Amino acid sequence: MDYRTQKSKKKITSFTKRITIQKNTISTDKYRNHTPVWTEYFSCWTYAVTYQFDQENAGAVTRPEQTVNFEVRYCSELKDLNSTEYRVLFENGIYNIISVDMMNYQFRTIRIRCKYEGQMKS
């Protein structure tokens, strides 16, 4: 087993958490009203790194902000992932996508940087 194979196997074992990626679609009711709806698009295993820091805004009020980096394995379902049409569900929380990093287009992993927006409603 060479070094690259060993390194990739070690990394695969660190993908221990499950995320669901939702896509924003338009639903039409019987009166032809258009309503945006979040639908489940794809679910996969991830390696999540959480950062929490205080951010100052213009009013000199400090509020905590939680940013999470999700690293997932590259797959064809995620090749068009972007921050305007998709969001992430993780451990009963909703995360808006800030940016998507294709990791130098090596087609191995994708890093999704997200901001915590709140808990899912039951």
Q: Average of pLDDT values for 24-38?
A: 93
The CATH number of whichever domain residue 17 belongs to comes to: 2.40.10.270
99 or 59, which is more confident:
99
Average pLDDT, rounded, for the chain:
84
| Rounded Cα distance, 110 and 117, in Å | 21
- Under a CB-based contact definition with an 8 Å cutoff, are residues 50 and 32 in contact? no
- Range ranked top by mean pLDDT from 7-11, 105-109, 114-118: 114-118
- Under a CB-based contact definition with an 8 Å cutoff, are residues 26 and 34 in contact? yes
81 is in which domain, residue-wise?
3-119
Number of domains, the chain? 1
DSSP 32-79: --EEEEEEEEEEEEEEEEEEEEEEE-TTS-EEEEEEEEEEEE--GGGT
Q: Average of pLDDT values for 36-57?
A: 82
Instruction: Specify the pTM.
Output: 0.77
Question: What's the pLDDT tens digit per position in 52-74?
Answer: 655 555 555 555 568 999 999 99
- Under a CB-based contact definition with an 8 Å cutoff, are residues 17 and 73 in contact? no
